């Protein structure tokens, strides 16, 4: 909370991150799984000596190059850009705690990009053995990149012993590291099978369509087994309160988790039929349906995972608005505006102005006044005066497990209550 917030009226910064990040995460998992798929498929093509099979693998590698190295790279930069603007304190914490982790991941990322470029542009120019070796290098670089990033992502929800030691490895190998790695590995292989259908839909050779389709089918089977095993394990490794939230206690989280599970199964059933049962019937319409369904399933899961750690950026360490949990006691005495200097109206004693500053400091990151989470806010304060808002809402904000407690002194609490009363009476929704 040492930095000003980046707000887009009508759409929250969190939504900007989500739109970019979900696309990037889908691509990054596809890139890992498709790397293994292409390496295995080329090995089969070399052994069979079938040029049509080789052409299928070549077209699949082009798909990796276009999607991963271009769109994936752009959205990857987009994630860093948006999280630095929306949550600078959280981003700073992740960088400072895992600077060597990020450095290692970037090495693997460079290996991944160089390998796919060499792999694609050396078709029919080097020996089959060396070319396939480069394909395996690509997969290894992509998978090890996932291995590193998984530790940092899971740390945010389950920091474990890191909260006491602040040691790199305690945070990295946290309670959900291995469950998540198993689940995400499964997603990678599952998405490889789904994306392979895009190349298959353009294949004219029906025999190759059947052979490659069955390989894609095995990736789907192996992938969905790992996915559901991993995330059942993950579900039981997360804190009990978080687990309760998306297993019934919170309607939105429960629905999102249910939609992710159902859409994943529907995607698998359709993909299985058109890769293992009737692979020659695969066409572009079916492939696009599978791609859309898989994006929706993965999107709902990622929304669930991100929302599940609310009200924190890093559970039990940093709240969503950037205030450290260890700072709360001091700020409740000195006032939140003593820290959030960019919002502090130094030259105004008007309680409405001060209340707006307190709102900007700890509310607007999640409650945009025009759209994002605005309705729940206005529904709660409608018809209430400042005293009722203070006693019935602000005094017990964290009764909602997805909300942080009010942070600030009594004067700031009174000012925020007056500002919310003003909003309830003057802002039309």
Mean pLDDT of 128-143: 97
Give me the residue label for tokens 């929704």.
429
Looking at residue 318, its pLDDT comes to 95
CA distance 182 to 191: 14
Distant-in-sequence, close-in-space partners of 311: CB < 8 Å, separation ≥ 6 = 319, 320, 398, 401, 402, 403, 404
Distant-in-sequence, close-in-space partners of 99: CB < 8 Å, separation ≥ 6 = none
CA distance 152 to 131: 33
pLDDT in tens, 331-372: 999 999 998 888 888 778 899 999 999 998 988 888 877 766
Question: What token pair was written down for 414?
Answer: 């009174």
Question: What token pair was written down for 366?
Answer: 């999640």
Helices and strands: H and E segment counts in the chain:
18, 2
Looking at residue 251, its pLDDT comes to 86
CA distance 30 to 26: 6
pTM: 0.91
pLDDT in tens, 68-90: 888 998 999 999 998 988 889 99
Residues 47/52/56/58 CA torsion (nearest 10 deg): 80
Contact present, 149 and 79 (Cβ < 8 Å): no
Classify 124 in phi/psi space as left (phi over 0), alpha (psi -120 to 50) or beta. left
Give me the residue label for tokens 């003593």.
338
At 143 the three-state DSSP class reads: helix
Considering only the C-alpha atoms of the chain, give the largest distance between any 2 of them, rounded to a whole number of Å.
81
Looking at the predicted structure, is the pLDDT value of residue 132 above 80? yes
pLDDT in tens, 197-244: 999 999 889 999 999 999 999 999 999 999 999 989 999 999 888 888
Looking at residue 140, its pLDDT comes to 97
By mean pLDDT, which of 13-22, 233-242, 407-416 is the weakest? 13-22
Could you tell me which residue, 295 or 346, shows the higher pLDDT? 295
Q: Give the phi and the psi of residue 340 in degrees, each rounded to 5.
A: -85, 75
CA distance 421 to 236: 42
Looking at the predicted structure, is the pLDDT value of residue 428 above 90? no
Q: Give the phi and the psi of residue 140 in degrees, each rounded to 5.
A: -60, -45
Give me the residue label for tokens 């759209």.
371
Looking at residue 1, its pLDDT comes to 62
């Amino acid at each position: 909370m040492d930095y000003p917030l980046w707000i887009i009226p009508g759409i929250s910064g969190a939504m900007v991150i989500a739109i970019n990040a979900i696309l990037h995460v889908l691509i990054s998992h596809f890139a890992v799984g498709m790397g293994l798929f292409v390496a295995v498929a080329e090995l089969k093509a070399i052994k069979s000596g079938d040029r049509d099979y080789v052409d299928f693998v070549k077209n699949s590698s082009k798909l990796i190059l276009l999607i991963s190295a271009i769109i994936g790279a752009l959205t990857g930069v987009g994630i860093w850009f948006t999280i630095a603007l929306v949550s600078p304190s959280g981003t700073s914490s992740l960088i400072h705690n895992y600077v060597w982790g990020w450095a290692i991941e970037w090495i693997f990322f460079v290996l991944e990009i160089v390998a796919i470029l060499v792999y694609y542009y050396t078709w029919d120019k080097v020996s089959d053995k060396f070319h396939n070796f480069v394909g395996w290098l690509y997969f290894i670089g992509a998978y090890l990149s996932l291995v590193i990033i998984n530790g940092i992502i899971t740390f945010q929800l389950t920091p474990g012993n890191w909260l006491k030691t602040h040691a790199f490895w305690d945070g990295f190998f946290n309670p959900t590291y291995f469950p998540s790695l198993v689940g995400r590995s499964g997603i990678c292989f599952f998405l490889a099978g789904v994306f392979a259908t895009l190349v298959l839909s353009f294949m004219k050779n029906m025999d190759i369509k059947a052979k490659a389709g069955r390989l894609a089918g095995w990736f789907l089977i192996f992938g969905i087994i790992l996915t559901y095993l991993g995330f059942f394990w993950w579900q039981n490794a997360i804190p009990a309160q978080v687990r309760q939230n998306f297993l019934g206690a919170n309607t939105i989280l429960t629905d999102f988790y249910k939609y992710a599970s159902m859409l994943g199964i529907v995607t698998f059933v359709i993909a299985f039929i058109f890769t293992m049962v009737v692979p020659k019937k695969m066409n572009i319409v079916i492939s696009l349906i599978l791609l859309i369904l898989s994006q929706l399933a993965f999107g709902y899961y990622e929304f669930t995972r991100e929302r599940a750690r609310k009200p924190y950026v890093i559970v039990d360490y940093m709240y969503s608005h950037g205030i450290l949990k260890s700072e709360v006691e001091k700020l409740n005495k000195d006032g939140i505006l003593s820290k959030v200097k960019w919002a502090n109206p130094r030259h105004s004693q008007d309680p409405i102005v001060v209340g707006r500053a307190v709102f900007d400091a700890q509310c607007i990151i999640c409650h945009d006044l025009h759209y994002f989470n605005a309705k729940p806010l206005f529904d709660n304060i409608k018809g209430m005066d400042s005293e009722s808002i203070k006693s019935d809402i602000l005094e017990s904000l964290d009764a909602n497990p997805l909300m942080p407690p009010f942070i600030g002194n009594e004067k700031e609490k009174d000012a925020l209550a007056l500002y919310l009363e003003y909003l309830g009476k003057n802002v039309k929704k």
